[in-house]
Structure 1
């Protein structure tokens, strides 16, 4: 007997209330859902952080076997990290009128000054489904890493970005050593390590 596969129709949303609306939003949901053992759950209340969806771009020079990472301050990391300046992949939020591919090209140029020779969609994944609806759309961009230089970012968004060009191996070793520990960058560099031989 095959196990039951639940879908959206197996959740009943009873109420939704906005608790906070600023740059991000916090919504309170009351809902019921079907149970693995049969029947329905009691009413459940959850707060959900609504921050929209985002694109993540891994700039990779397959000819030189190098990746381009960006470094910028991430204030929330101050609570648990030795330094809140993190090495990351290029990333940005998707506006309502934009497609993920458009955002991938725009953010790559804004945050690194690079233009993709080709942009390849890899997959999408949920960032923190226990508390947020945010989904990341992950691309890898074919770039010329020799052109990666200077400081970048939009002043009106308070971005102050420095570039780092690392070999693929050094970038992956930074993940293994725990020097790179933000989720989207860890996922992207692990994916590259598993798949780089198929990209050349």
Structure 2
């Protein structure tokens, strides 16, 4: 392993300009910057257009009694370019608004998108969605819920949401991971984290 991994940090970048390009449902900003080089010295000015949509949470509700996840299905227009079916199976997720905590968003979105109440909430991990083109960081949570209350169609009209709720058995979710039925990052990461840490997670939940 190289001894120089992690040799740079944010202090090794010079932001020369930040130019707003578009402000609508989302925002685009152009960054002009220089950065230190591995071989020494500084780069020429680099120009990148960056998609800024804020940061988000994604929560995977699980019912230990029924051994089911609560997942949602909705249309994602960005999936059309590479998928025959742009209605995706996803975890519950939402943007963190100003003044909200990550836990607040988990609970709000669970009610808005699935009509369920979260019980125990555990932070799993966080990741950068696509740092070459967006600043977004997504925080992944696990939660317990009563899956028997999950049904119907949900979402906010003013956000043009049309969301169908699914109760999904563990074995089915695992099969969908393996055969590619689930192919969006937040859902893959959340389910993989659950299956990797299931034993410890359930033990911790049972002790609360």
TM-score normalised by structure 1 residue count = 0.96
State the Cα deviation string for residues 94-152 of structure 1 (Å, max 9, x = none): 11221111111100111111111111111211101110000101111111111111211
Matched, 1:197 2:203: no
* Number of positions where the alignment pairs a residue of Structure 1 with one of Structure 2: 200
C-alpha RMSD over aligned residues = 1.3
Write the mapping of 1:35-184 to structure 2, written as runs, cut at 5 A.
Answer: 35-184=37-186
Q: CA deviation at 1:59?
A: 0.7
Q: CA deviation at 1:64?
A: 2.2
Q: Give secondary structure in 1 for the equivalent of 2:11.
A: helix
Q: Give secondary structure in 1 for the equivalent of 2:140.
A: strand
State the Cα deviation string for residues 7-40 of structure 1 (Å, max 9, x = none): 1100000111111111111111111111111111
Correspondence for 2:19 among 17, 20, 23: 17
Which stretches in structure 1 are left out of the alignment for 5+ residues? none
Distance in 2 between the 1:82 and 1:126 partners? 26
Aligned twin of 1:2: 3
On the 8 A contact 2:96/2:105 being kept in 1, the answer is yes
Q: Give secondary structure in 2 for the equivalent of 1:98.
A: coil
On the 8 A contact 2:50/2:135 being kept in 1, the answer is yes
Extract structure 1 runs of 4+ deviating beyond 6 A: none
TM-score normalised by structure 2 residue count = 0.92
Distance in 1 between the 2:176 and 2:32 partners? 42
